[in-house]
Amino acid sequence: MKIVMWKQVFFSTAWLALVVACGTPAGKQDKTADGGLQLPLPEDVVMYQVNPRVFAPRQSFNAVAGYVDSIQALGANVVWFMPLNEVGQEKSVNSPYCVKNYKALNPEFGTMDEFKSLVSRFHGKEISVIIDWVANHTSWDNAWLANKDWYTQDTEGNIISPANTGWLDVADLNFDNQEMRLAMIDAMKFWVDSVGVDGFRCDAADFVPYDFWKQAIDSLRAPGRRPLLMLAEGKRKDHFKAGFDMNYAWDFLESLRQVMRQDSCASQLFATDEAEYDSLAVGKVKLRFTTNHDEMTKMSPIKEFHGERGAMAAFVLTTSLHGGALIYSSQEVGYEDTINFFRYCPVDWKANNSLRQEFCRFMKLYNSHDAIRKGSLKKYPLCDVLMYEKAKADERILFVVNVRGEAKQVALPQEWKGHVATDLMQDASLQLADTLTMEPYQYRILTY
């Protein structure tokens, strides 16, 4: 109780100055005809991933409730909660992806009433809420185990863990069983209809057959039901045919790593971006990120991308090149260590306010300029600097990002030379010459 009270006092006072300084995101979501929250278009999504275990050791819903204004100030219009379900105990490693009951909350985080209140609080700030959905497997003590045919079995009839994963704490579900499928869809509808969530981030989506995702999404979006945002953790192209709005940009992250290690030229990112969007339908989006809960178990972006400046340069180019933005809880304060999401990990939310302010400024630009999110792309292929122009209507914005740990001088495009430009991050005029000197991992966002 003392921890919860401290959190509430802390968030209600210490964060007020930060929220006011950051400002609120541009581009408010409209209400639907029935007064509900209108989902953002996929290409407009700014997602904030909530790991409840970095907010409090117990009753973290209360702690997150005190952080809602700060999430809004970062420009988020969607929050994604990691799995909130009751966690199994048999063979357990305390992973939130080990679901004991699809319709019950993990009491570690709080009560259902507290979560419903938190969803309403986000909705009041015009922020949609999606939750992690673990369709591929359950815990070994899930009540569904009474239905043996609902699970994958070996040749001797023993229920098995997902093959070739090492996930020994969970039992693999059998999607050939129609009763199991209907029970899964019924549980998903419970969270939409009874709790009020606005969609799902579907875990290990590549492991689950296409025809189940098509069946589930069609059912969730049947006539008369409200719109939902659907994100697949995976990169199969048939996710979009099944009805997902977004899936993961794994290839882009790997290319980014190669570039930041100097294993390839910056221009390789243009090729990867083009390949990821090749054949994607209009309005579908690859979620781009520099970290998430899985990546933070291995290395923080601060360490992976050579310090705070490298991490921020990586985030800016990842987010602006084609849209689809994700901020992982702790990223905005420059948390340097790994985070094991199987247990509570305290984060100092007062740390590194200058980095938080930088995230706020950049995401405010991202939200307020259509050209950044969905403008046409003009590429200027270079090796040590990623330079590209985003344009929409009468607006042209030039991004220049040094991806190296040493200063670089870059020749500006002919149409930008000699202009008086505005540095959007600094809100200051800049007389452009023929070249631009870029400090290590510096980025500039210019317009004229």
| Those residues with Cβ within 8 angstroms of residue 5's Cβ, 6 or more apart along the chain or in another chain | none
Q: Which of 396, 393, 394 is nearest to 412 (CA)?
A: 396
Residue 227 belongs to a domain with what CATH number?
Answer: 3.20.20.80
pLDDT of 20 reads: 40
pLDDT of 36 reads: 65
Q: Same domain for 89 and 150?
A: yes
Q: Same domain for 147 and 167?
A: yes
Helix residue spans in 155-266 (DSSP H): 178-190, 210-220, 238-242, 250-260
Please state the domain count of the chain: 2
Q: Same domain for 114 and 192?
A: yes
Query: Would you say 345 and 333 are in contact if contact means Cβ atoms under 8 Å apart?
Result: no
Q: Same domain for 245 and 346?
A: yes
Q: Same domain for 296 and 442?
A: no
Residue 332, Ramachandran bin (φ over 0: left; ψ between -120 and 50: alpha; else beta): alpha
Q: Same domain for 198 and 345?
A: yes
Domain boundary among 368, 398, 433: 368
pLDDT of 29 reads: 55
Burial of 279 (0-12, 13-18, 19+ CB in 10 A): exposed
pLDDT of 18 reads: 47
User: In Å, what is the CA distance from 391 to each residue of 1, 238, 243, 321, 336?
Assistant: 52, 30, 29, 12, 35
pLDDT of 448 reads: 96
Structure tokens at 37: 């929250």
Residue 373 lies in a domain: no
Domain of residue 262 covers 2-368
Query: Would you say 112 and 195 are in contact if contact means Cβ atoms under 8 Å apart?
Result: yes
pLDDT of 22 reads: 66
Summarised one tens digit per residue, pLDDT across range 219-266 is 999 999 999 999 999 999 999 999 999 999 999 999 999 999 999 999
Residue the block writes with tokens 């993990």: 106
Ranges of residues in the chain with a pLDDT under 50 are: 1-21, 24-28, 33-35
pLDDT of 31 reads: 55
Summarised one tens digit per residue, pLDDT across range 258-301 is 999 999 999 999 999 999 999 899 999 999 999 999 999 999 99
Q: Same domain for 405 and 273?
A: no
Query: Would you say 64 and 34 are in contact if contact means Cβ atoms under 8 Å apart?
Result: no
Total-model pTM: 0.93
pLDDT of 407 reads: 98
